[in-house]
Amino acid sequence: MEKQVTIFSFFAGAGFLDLGFEMAGFRVAYVNEVFKPFMDAYQYARHCLNLPSPEYGYYLGNAIDFTEGNQKSVLSKLVRIARKNTNLLGFIGGSPCPDFSVGGKNKGREGDHGRLSSTYIDIVCQQNPDFFLFENVEGLWKTKKHRSFYEEIKQKLHNIGYVTTERLINAIEYGVPQDRKRIILIGFRKEILVKMGIALDGLELPPGVFPWEKYIIYPRAKVFSCPWNDKNPFQEDSILECPKNIYKELTVEHWFTNNNVNNHPNSKHYFKPRQGIARFESVEEGDDSKKSFKRLHRWRYSPTVCYGNNEVHLHPYKKRRISVAEALALQSLPKEFAFPSHLSITHMFKAIGNGVPFLAAHALASSIIDFLELER
| Higher per-residue pLDDT: 272 or 247 | 247
Lowest mean pLDDT among 139-148, 189-198, 239-248, 318-327: 139-148
Q: Are strands 131-137 and 27-33 parallel, antiparallel or unpaired?
A: unpaired
The distance from CA 272 to its chain's CA centroid, rounded to whole angstroms, is 27
Enzyme catalytic residues: 97
Confirm if 324 and 305 have CB atoms less than 8 A apart.
Answer: no
| Predicted local distance difference test score (pLDDT) of residue 113 | 55
Burial of 39 (0-12, 13-18, 19+ CB in 10 A): buried
Confirm if 297 and 229 have CB atoms less than 8 A apart.
Answer: yes
112-127 vs 144-159: helix crossing angle, rounded to 10: 20
Contacts of 376 (CB under 8 A, 6+ apart): 24, 25, 369
Neighbours of 346 (CB within 10 A): 11
Rounded CA separation 212/243 (Å): 31
Rounded CA separation 269/349 (Å): 10
Nearest partner of 25 among 86, 77, 74, 69, judged by Cα: 86
Nearest partner of 51 among 63, 59, 41, 43, judged by Cα: 43
DSSP secondary structure of 243-284: PSSS-GGGSHHHHHHHTTGGGSTTTT-S---SS-HHHHHHSP
| Predicted local distance difference test score (pLDDT) of residue 309 | 67
Domain 4-217+357-371: CATH superfamily is Vaccinia Virus protein VP39 (3.40.50.150)
What's the mean pLDDT in 267-293? 87
| Predicted local distance difference test score (pLDDT) of residue 108 | 47
pTM score of the predicted model: 0.94
Confirm if 44 and 65 have CB atoms less than 8 A apart.
Answer: no
**Structural domain spans, the chain:** 4-217+357-371
| Predicted local distance difference test score (pLDDT) of residue 276 | 63
Confirm if 331 and 355 have CB atoms less than 8 A apart.
Answer: yes
Q: What own/partner pairs with CB < 8 Å and gap ≥ 24 does 83-88 have?
A: 85/1, 85/3, 85/6, 86/3, 86/4, 86/5, 86/6, 86/27, 87/3, 87/4, 87/5, 87/374, 88/5, 88/6, 88/130, 88/131, 88/192, 88/372, 88/374
The distance from CA 254 to its chain's CA centroid, rounded to whole angstroms, is 21
Render pLDDT for 217-269 as a digit per residue (tens, 0 to 9).
999 999 999 999 999 999 999 999 999 999 999 999 999 999 999 999 999 99
Neighbours of 352 (CB within 10 A): 24
Q: Is the pLDDT of residue 71 over 80?
A: yes
* Helical H segments across the chain, by residue range: 16-24, 36-48, 69-84, 112-127, 138-142, 144-159, 190-195, 220-224, 252-258, 277-282, 324-330, 345-354, 358-371
* Sign of the CA dihedral running 20, 22, 24, 27: positive
